[in-house]
Amino acid sequence: MKVLIANRGEIAVRVIRACREMGLPSVAVYSDCDRASLHVRYADEAYPLGGNAPSESYLRIDALIEIARRSGADAVHPGYGFLAENEAFARACAAAGLVFVGPPAEAIERMGSKTSARQAAIEAGVPVVPGTTGPLPPNATEAEISSVAGQVGYPIFVKAVAGGGGKGMRLVAEPAELPSAVRAARSEARSSFGDPAIYIERQLQRPRHIEIQLLADASGTVVPFTERECSIQRRHQKVLEESPSVAVTPAKRRELADAAVAVARAVGYVNAGTIEFLLDEDGRFYFLEMNTRLQVEHPITELVSGVDLVRWQLRIARGERLDLSPGLTLSPRGHAVECRIYAEDPDNNFLPSAGLVLGRRVPGGPGIRRDDGGVTPGLEVPIYYDPLIAKLTAWGGSRDEAVERLGRALGEYEVRGIKTSIPFFRWLFQNDDFRAGRFDTTFLDRELAARNGVPFVTIAAGAEHIALLAAAIHAFERAAGNAGAAPRGRAASAWTLRARSDGLRNG
Amino acid sequence: MLFDIEIGERVHRVSVEREGARYRIVVDGRADVVDAARVDSATLSLIVVGERHESHEVALLERGEPGALEVHLRAGVVAARVRPAGSRRGGAQAPGGPGGPVKLTAPMPGKIVKVLVSPGDEVGPRQGLVVVEAMKMENELRAPRQGRVASVHVQEGALVEAGRLLLVIE
């Protein structure tokens, strides 16, 4: 089986690694600005898509199918994002005789609509967050919508039926805010997803976001894994995940797993997928949505289960049957935590920080795994795509050990030239409530608001003195004639590579 | 050798001498002996030789104008500016003194989606000025202080590099 990877960055590299281990030839695709990136260099073959913006590159279904045909690939792995949950792409692959490494198009379509996904969960006997069972009629009057909202019970979320990732979603605390929230959600849903349909869900008070990874094969075997705890979110976006959750007992895990398997079976699911739940303070859980693809945070499940999810995706795609025992996949070994390292500036309202990488120091040591798309000196982080540059994950025998290891590794990690979220994580890892596992989905936004703009990066006077000493040595060596060849700006250091280095011993 | 090194808001007079493999550095009258070893083209290992031998790893990057340095420490980045002692360059720009003009530059490369103000507009602190799209997200750049828009240097739809002048507030 020859596999085309219809993606970029760390996830493309991750899939190519699995292909390499299994002896499967890999085919990369790239946009203009990604020509020199790691997934291109690492694949067996690489073909240009042209363009930079996703719509001109990684979202071009026709171009991807054509490259698959030209390269002789017989399978397509979509990664996450881009076309991973696009049923038209899954159908186009099937029509071209290509194996789509993911679920059937029908399952993507069924779960892609939030309301039909809720319906599927209800049919499977799984509780859903209280709310409307279907979309609001497009011509519903304000009075009708207000009456529906009143029955659901405030506070409520108005959500896009086609939504995801916090887009097309509005929190409404009281009836007076409802009309404008409905208008805003409809308009955002139309512009983001091309579908203005919305529905209403009650906002649970301080829930945790808990999800169940599963694998399913074509013969109907569904294997659930230990839950992932994804409550550490900034504006409804996950920034850190861990497995298992401190809030889930083995008995609760079994209930969650059974519910997840029931939903997957109800839609004829095949390959890797994830069922997301909200867990309230009383231990009641509610189906939230299903992600019909591999997820960003899959490494933590791999670390506590010992199962390689990407290799299993490929094995299922080529028709193999699952031979994993649920006894094993639901008994976590140790604890794993993952940080999503973004190219964004925590001291400037987390604005994206694209640009040239000038240097880096990478963490290592016991229990540390880094999935990185190859953000190395001399390469640009482009402005066109998701700003995730790496995932830093730690495994430990206990939660404390995993957290201590990851905190230590964050201290080692530096990416120079661009701003990253590393300083934010260093702060989070000092937080007592985080360290104790006391949090819910509202925790991080509350803690960030309470900081009130205090900078994440603070330089103590002692550190400033060290910087002064380093600058002085640099100035001295420059003035002593050991200067010259430093290419300024690009990929370079002030610290020139000199032939002679009188004062400096080479380390 | 004598240098003036600007760090934070202060300029320090710094004297550097080499003694074998070590440097004797006097900053504002305080002397340190530093053992330096090069790790790679950007990185130095420093041991500050005192009662304790404190170990530090730093990376130095030249960015922007001549003499401008970024010193990367474990805690974060410190900007420094080095020049030969006494060579005070003409009117070191004091960016945005309380009443002076403030230049708004692009914090990242991206596309200008919207320019929300025109020359002559009065703006309040934190008022939105320009919307830049980068990495699929729209980001509103806000006024750092109250003032009047003196000039606008970009148009909607333009692609800009980081550091590009967008507008000036006076």
Nearest beta carbon to residue A355 from set B48, B109, B111: B109
The number of residues in chain B equals 170
Interval A218-256: pLDDT, tens: 999 999 999 999 999 999 999 999 999 999 999 999 999
For all residues of chain A together, what is the average pLDDT? 92
Catalytic residue flag (residue A293): yes
Residue that the structure tokens 């887009």 belong to: A167
Contact between A354 and B162 using a beta-carbon 8 Å cutoff = yes
| A486 has a pLDDT exceeding 50 | no
Contact between A467 and B34 using a beta-carbon 8 Å cutoff = no
At residue A179, the pLDDT reads: 92
Q: What domains does chain B contain, in order, with CATH numbers?
A: 2-84 (3.30.700.30), 102-169 (2.40.50.100)
Instruction: State the nearest Cα–Cα gap between B129 and chain A, in angstroms.
Output: 16
Interval A188-217: pLDDT, tens: 888 888 889 999 999 999 999 999 999 999
- Give the residue among A58, A1, A8 at the shortest CA–CA distance from A25: A1
DSSP string, A246-261: TT--HHHHHHHHHHHH
How much of chain B exceeds pLDDT 90, in percent?
44
ipTM: 0.76
Domain A339-426+447-458 part of CATH 3.30.470.20: yes
Interval A406-464: pLDDT, tens: 999 999 999 999 999 999 999 999 999 999 999 999 999 999 999 988 999 888 888 99
Residue of A nearest to B46 (CA): A470
For testing contact with chain B, the best of A237, A388, A420, A466 (most B CBs within 10 A): A466
In a 13 Å sphere around the CA of A436, the CA atoms on its Cβ side amount to 6
Interval B76-125: pLDDT, tens: 899 999 998 887 654 344 343 345 678 888 877 788 988 999 999 998 87
* Interface check A378 vs B, CB under 8 A: no
d(CA B141, CA B160): 14
The 8-class DSSP code of residue A293 comes to: S
| A305 has a pLDDT exceeding 50 | yes
At residue A168, the pLDDT reads: 81
Nearest beta carbon to residue A411 from set B70, B74, B137: B74
d(CA A105, CA B165): 48
Domain ranges of chain A: 3-101, 130-202, 339-426+447-458, 460-507
Provide the CATH topology of domain A3-101. Rossmann fold (3.40.50)
How much of chain A exceeds pLDDT 90, in percent?
83
Interval A386-418: pLDDT, tens: 999 999 999 999 999 999 999 999 999 999 999
- Radius of gyration for chain A, computed over Cα atoms and rounded to the nearest angstrom: 24
> Which amino acid makes up residue A63?
A
Domains A130-202 and A339-426+447-458 share a fold: no
d(CA A396, CA A335): 5
In a 13 Å sphere around the CA of B118, the CA atoms on its Cβ side amount to 0
Contact between B61 and A359 using a beta-carbon 8 Å cutoff = yes
User: May I ask the CATH class of domain A130-202?
Assistant: alpha beta
Interval A102-153: pLDDT, tens: 999 999 999 999 999 999 999 999 999 999 989 999 889 999 999 999 999 9
